[in-house]
C-alpha cells in the first residue's frame, strides 16, 4: 500500500522521516483471497495476552473489521495492516469491550503515517444507535480533530464518517462479490440490538456469532459454513449461585451448549473467541483445556480455541491455520 504524505512520526522509540512514498509490504499470510484473523479474543477483562474482541476479514482485496475492542489498532499494525486502509468497520452491539477501541481505529487511522493516512471517510456499519455513538465521539474529539487539521495538515475528508445503520437481519454490505449479512442473535432481553455476521465470497463463508446465548438464527446462518467463530463462557459450579456470575453466564454460551451448536452446524472448523473465564478468590478460572474438555461432551469435530493473531485461510479445499504469531 502506498502512503503519499510526508510526515515526521514516531514508530516505537525511533523517530523516522517519511519522505515521498512509503511502501508497507503485506506479510506472507495475506496471499490468500479469504483470510480471517482474530485480533482480540478476550472480554472486558484486561488481559495482557488477549486484546478486546475484534476480527479482521481480508476477502477479495477488501479489509473488513468486525468490532473494535481494546488494542485493535495494535494488533492491526502487528499484522502490518495500516489502520487507515480498512474498507469498513462493523459493530455487533454496544457493550464497551466491543467499542472501546473504536475512537483509536477512527482517529489513529487518520494520522499521516504508514499505520494511518486515511484520506477518505471512515465507514462504519452497525445496528440502530451507531450514528449516535459516532456523533458523540465526533463531539468528544473535536478539539483533537481541529488541532491535527490546522497544525499537521491532516485532510478533513479522512476524519469524516460514513455511517450506515440497519434495523433487522439482512445484507448490510455487498461489493465485488463479497456479501456481509447481519444476523440478529440473542444476547439477552436487555441487550438489544445485538447481531452476528456472515461473510460470503465465491461459495465460501465465515460466521461470527457476536455475543450471544444459543441462538437459532446463528445456527441457521452458519449451517455448513467453512468457519464458525463463536463466543464461549465458562464458570465453575459454585459461582453460578452468585447473582452476578449467573447473569453473565445467562448472556453467553457455555462450552457444552456451544458443542451442541457445532454438532448441528457441522462447520469445517469451529473456533472460540470472546472467551469468558469467570472466577473469584475461591473458584479459579477454567483453563482453556477445561473449556475444550467440556465442549467435547457434545461435539467431536474440528475445534480450535482462538488466540490473538491466529489467522485462518479459507480456500476451496478447506480451512487452514496460517499463523499463530506475528512479531
Write out the DSSP string of 156-194: GGGT-EEEEEESSSEEEEEETTEEEEEEE--S-TTS-S-
- Measured distance CA(208)–CA(42) in Å, rounded: 15
> What's the CA gap between 78 and 73, in Å, rounded?
9
Distance CA 26, CA 23 (A): 9
* pLDDT tens readout for residues 97-154: 999 999 999 999 999 999 999 999 999 999 999 999 999 999 999 999 999 999 999 9
Helix axes 288-295, 255-265, angle to 10 degrees: 50
For the chain, domains (ranges, CATH) are 2-321 (3.60.15.10)
Catalytic residue among 97, 186, 211, 226: 97
Query: How far is residue 56 from each of residues 43, 65, 89, 184, measured CA to CA in Å?
Result: 17, 5, 9, 20
Percentage, residues of the chain above pLDDT 70: 89
Q: 124 and 130 in contact (C-beta within 8 Å)?
A: yes
Dist. CA 271–CA 256, nearest whole Å: 14
Mean pLDDT across 286-300: 98
322: confidence class by pLDDT, cuts 50, 70, 90 = confident
Task: Say how far apart CA 120 and CA 95 lie, in whole Å.
Answer: 27
DSSP state of 26: P
The span from the CA of 308 to the CA of 310, in Å, is 6
Burial of 166 (0-12, 13-18, 19+ CB in 10 A): middle
Q: Are 237 and 280 in contact (CB under 8 A)?
A: no
User: Is position 146 annotated as part of the catalytic site?
Assistant: no
Region 295-302: what's the mean pLDDT? Answer: 98
How far apart are the C-alpha atoms of 281 and 276, rounded to whole Å? 17
> What confidence tens digit (pLDDT) does each residue in 154-186 have?
999 999 999 999 999 999 999 999 999 999 999
Q: Alpha-carbon torsion 80, 86, 92, 97, what sign?
A: positive
User: Which range is least confidently modeled, 45-49, 164-168, 212-216?
Assistant: 45-49
Return the pLDDT at 21.
36
State residue 28's pLDDT score: 52
Amino acid at each position: 500500500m502506498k502512503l503519499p504524505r510526508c510526515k515526521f512520526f514516531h514508530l516505537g522509540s525511533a523517530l523516522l522521516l517519511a519522505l515521498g512514498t512509503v511502501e508497507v509490504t503485506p506479510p506472507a499470510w495475506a496471499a490468500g483471497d479469504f483470510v480471517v484473523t482474530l485480533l482480540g479474543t478476550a472480554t472486558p477483562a484486561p488481559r495482557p495476552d488477549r486484546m478486546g474482541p475484534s476480527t479482521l476479514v481480508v476477502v477479495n482485496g477488501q479489509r473488513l473489521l468486525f468490532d473494535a475492542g481494546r488494542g485493535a489498532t495494535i494488533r492491526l499494525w502487528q499484522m502490518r495492516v495500516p489502520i487507515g486502509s480498512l474498507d469498513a468497520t462493523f459493530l455487533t452491539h454496544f457493550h464497551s469491550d466491543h467499542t472501546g477501541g473504536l475512537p483509536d481505529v477512527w482517529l489513529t487511522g487518520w494520522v499521516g503515517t504508514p499505520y494511518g493516512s486515511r484520506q477518505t471517510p471512515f465507514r462504519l456499519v452497525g445496528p440502530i444507535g451507531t450514528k449516535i455513538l459516532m456523533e458523540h465521539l465526533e463531539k468528544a474529539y473535536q478539539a483533537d480533530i481541529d488541532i491535527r487539521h490546522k497544525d499537521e495538515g491532516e485532510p478533513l475528508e479522512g476524519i469524516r464518517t460514513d455511517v450506515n445503520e440497519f434495523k433487522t437481519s439482512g445484507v448490510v454490505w455487498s461489493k465485488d462479490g463479497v456479501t456481509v449479512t447481519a444476523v440478529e442473535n440473542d444476547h439477552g432481553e436487555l441487550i438489544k440490538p445485538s447481531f452476528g455476521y456472515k461473510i460470503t465470497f465465491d461459495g465460501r463463508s465465515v460466521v461470527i456469532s457476536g455475543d450471544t446465548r444459543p441462538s437459532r438464527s446463528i445456527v441457521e446462518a452458519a449451517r455448513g459454513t467453512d468457519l464458525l467463530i463463536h463466543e464461549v463462557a465458562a464458570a465453575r459450579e459454585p459461582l453460578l449461585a452468585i447473582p452476578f456470575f449467573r447473569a453473565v453466564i445467562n448472556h453467553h454460551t457455555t462450552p457444552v451448549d456451544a458443542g451442541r451448536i457445532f454438532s448441528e452446524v457441522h462447520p469445517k472448523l469451529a473456533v472460540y473467541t470472546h472467551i469468558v473465564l469467570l472466577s473469584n478468590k475461591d473458584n479459579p478460572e477454567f483453563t482453556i483445556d477445561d473449556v475444550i474438555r467440556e465442549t467435547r461432551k457434545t461435539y467431536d469435530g474440528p475445534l480450535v480455541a482462538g488466540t490473538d493473531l491466529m489467522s485462518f485461510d479459507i480456500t476451496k479445499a478447506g480451512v487452514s491455520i496460517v499463523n499463530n504469531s506475528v512479531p
